[in-house]
Chains A and B, each alone.
Chain A
Amino acid sequence: MREHGHKSRRRFRQPSVLPGFGLALGVTLFWLVLIILIPLSGLIWRSSSLGWSQFMTLALDTRTLNALKISFGTAFVAAIVNLVFGVILAWVLVRYRFPGKRVIDAMVDLPFALPTAVAGIALATLYAPNGWIGSLLAPLGIKIAFTPAGIVVALIFVGLPFVVRTVQPIMEEIDKEVEEAAATLGASRFQTISRVLLPGLLPAGLTGFALAFARGVGEYGSVIFIAGNLPYVSEIAPLLIVIRLEEFNYPAATAIAAVMLIISFAMLLIINSIQAWSRRRYVYVA
């Protein structure tokens, strides 16, 4: 019917007997455009209407640059900590048996379920100089709350589930025969783990790391209570957006948001390509 005329054109959709494609896709696109695409393109349009030189002036402002550096730096450190302990935690949960294991497994998702503001005030109270942990560290001269270290602590909390939950299902699917083969070929246990098992977990670990990092960069609620929010020292980029908004400085707020968005989209692309790459390279990868 429609095919003759443009032979080379492939069908938009494969034929199916199931009904409702038009309705379902229509609802999906309508909602997506209304809630996500129009608001986000509004932000992009606003920042592009600033003009290049004004945009660069706002984006390269020292306070903005410092805030971006702090956000990305602390998120990176927290994601590294989460990568190391996330892999250990996933390993312990998959391989060992110990009392309370099921509770610990369930608790790993706490940061997904606990509102960030609650986590924020709890961590600030714990790490303040008179708090449970802060009072232990104070005699040693270590300050965590109201310093960049406090931001890292909050971001470790927020990003904790990502690495565990991406690595755990992959570990469960590891074929025991791979380890047996390594052992019969004379590898020590340490060699088996570091040369055989960990490389296979690398893509999942990197995905978890990237997710935790991306979440940490944008995080606001859990950080602002413990950070101290000192400009140039412990002021994160999302907070600076809020401050600029409260000053009715919309161009500055928009510029910071645009910079953060561009970097987040780049990260999203990287995450997707890590996953595509690992699907091609490794068998037991989701």
Chain B
Amino acid sequence: MSPDAAIASQHVRAATSESRFARLSLIVAALAFVGLFLLLPLAAVFTEALRKGPAEFFSALGDAETFSAIRLTLIVAAIAVPLNLVFGVAAAWAIAKFEFKGKAFLTTLIDLPFSVSPVISGLVFVLLFGSHSLIGPWLQSHGIQILFAVPGLVLATVFVTFPFVARELIPLMQEQGTSDEEAALSLGASGWQTFWHVTLPNIKWGLLYGVLLCNARAMGEFGAVSVVSGHIRGQTNTMPLQVEILYNEYNFVAAFAVATLLALLALVTLVLKTALELRYSAEIAASRRH
């Protein structure tokens, strides 16, 4: 290295970058923040679950009530996610492909559940279907059970996960415009053919992304579901509710064992999400900029 170059590398830095010291301290501050608030809690879930060895961990997972909680969580997500998928695609089609009055207001209404506390999302259904409500007595006399049963859990979950798919699709479809669809229609395709063969392939990665986030929230929802579930063991407890019950009974290994399943679900979601972002960054970046 020539003396000049050595001096340059030591003393001169670009005017648009920070000093080495500033850079290092910012990186350390950011990493410490992430480590303290994200990585440590995640590590704690797995450590606590395996504290008494793998045998204890697996026996906790084999419990019948835990099994029924897993089943219920899967059932609720399997109903709620497709419902919101259909809604999300319909909402995105209407909002992104057409110009009409009140569009901005409609978009705000769709985002509404994000600004409502999960507990309130559950409470509204208790007020609507509870025994003291207008239709409560009628439901009771006809033997229709909504609260403290699967329909209530599904309703609360649909409410909470309502905006996810629509929010991902609207900016993406707005960016894509309508020319592809217009071309297909002018070539004689029917409306449904246009949707299946032109629109859907265009939006499939954004759609998958939205469904992924929707599903993670549907399986992990706690507050809203907790209010409508009634906590009947082995019947209306989803996995997050089972975690709470086990934890409050000081059965920490079992609580964290169920929690590891949910944490793994979260990690799989993050990995798939990152993979989608890396491969289809252009498509998904559109939906980031809203």
Residues A175-189 near B (CB distance < 8 A): 176, 179-180, 183-184, 189
Is the beta-carbon distance between A113 and B270 smaller than 8 angstroms?
yes
With contact pairs A24-B90, A118-B263 given, residues A238 and B119 touching in the complex (Cβ less than 8 Å): yes
Residue of B nearest to A43 (CB): B124
Determine whether B75 belongs to the interface, using a CB cutoff of 8 Å to chain A. Answer: no
Residues B29-85 near A (CB distance < 8 A): 29-31, 33-34, 36-42, 44-45, 48, 83
Q: Give Cα A104–Cα B17 distance, bound, in whole angstroms.
A: 22
Determine whether A52 belongs to the interface, using a CB cutoff of 8 Å to chain B. Answer: no
Is the beta-carbon distance between B159 and A39 smaller than 8 angstroms?
yes
Residue of A nearest to B19 (CB): A189
Is the beta-carbon distance between A218 and B26 smaller than 8 angstroms?
no
CB distance from B277 to the nearest CB of A (A): 9
Selected from A10, A37, A217, A286, the residue in CB contact (under 8 A) with B117 is A217
B76-110 Cβ-contact flags toward A at 8 Å (1 or 0): 00000001001100110111011111000010111
Q: Cβ of A218: which chain B residues have Cβ within 8 Å of it?
A: 115-120
Q: Cβ of B244: which chain A residues have Cβ within 8 Å of it?
A: 117, 121, 225
With contact pairs A43-B120, A46-B127, A261-B120 given, residues A110 and B273 touching in the complex (Cβ less than 8 Å): no
Selected from B34, B45, B115, B124, the residue in CB contact (under 8 A) with A118 is B45
Provide the main secondary structure of the chain A interface: helix
A230-246 Cβ-contact flags toward B at 8 Å (1 or 0): 00000001110110010
Q: Give Cα A260–Cα B116 distance, bound, in whole angstroms.
A: 8
Is the beta-carbon distance between B100 and A13 smaller than 8 angstroms?
yes
CB distance from A149 to the nearest CB of B (A): 14
Is the beta-carbon distance between A260 and B34 smaller than 8 angstroms?
no
Q: Give Cα A107–Cα B35 distance, bound, in whole angstroms.
A: 10
Residue of A nearest to B185 (CB): A17
Residue of B nearest to A81 (CB): B33
Number of interface residues of B (CB under 8 A): 106
Q: Give Cα A31–Cα B106 distance, bound, in whole angstroms.
A: 12
Q: Given A112-B213, A117-B222, A254-B123, 19 other A-B contacts at CB below 8 A?
A: A24-B93, A37-B109, A39-B124, A43-B123, A43-B127, A89-B33, A91-B30, A115-B243, A118-B240, A118-B243, A217-B117, A218-B118, A219-B118, A225-B244, A225-B247, A260-B117, A265-B115, A268-B111, A286-B290
**Chain A residues packing against B (C-beta within 8 Å):** 10, 12-14, 16-21, 23-25, 27-28, 31-32, 35-40, 42-43, 46, 85, 88-89, 91-93, 96, 98, 102, 104, 106-119, 121-123, 125-126, 131-133, 153, 156-157, 160, 165, 169, 176, 179-180, 183-184, 189, 192, 214, 217-221, 225, 237-239, 241-242, 245, 250, 253-254, 257, 260-261, 264-265, 267-268, 272, 286
**Chain B residues packing against A (C-beta within 8 Å):** 15-19, 22-23, 26-27, 29-31, 33-34, 36-42, 44-45, 48, 83, 86-87, 90-91, 93-95, 97-101, 106, 108-120, 123-128, 130, 132-133, 155, 158-159, 162, 178, 181-182, 185-186, 191, 194-195, 213, 216-217, 219-223, 226-227, 239-241, 243-244, 247, 252, 255-256, 259, 262-263, 265-267, 269-271, 273-274, 285, 288-290
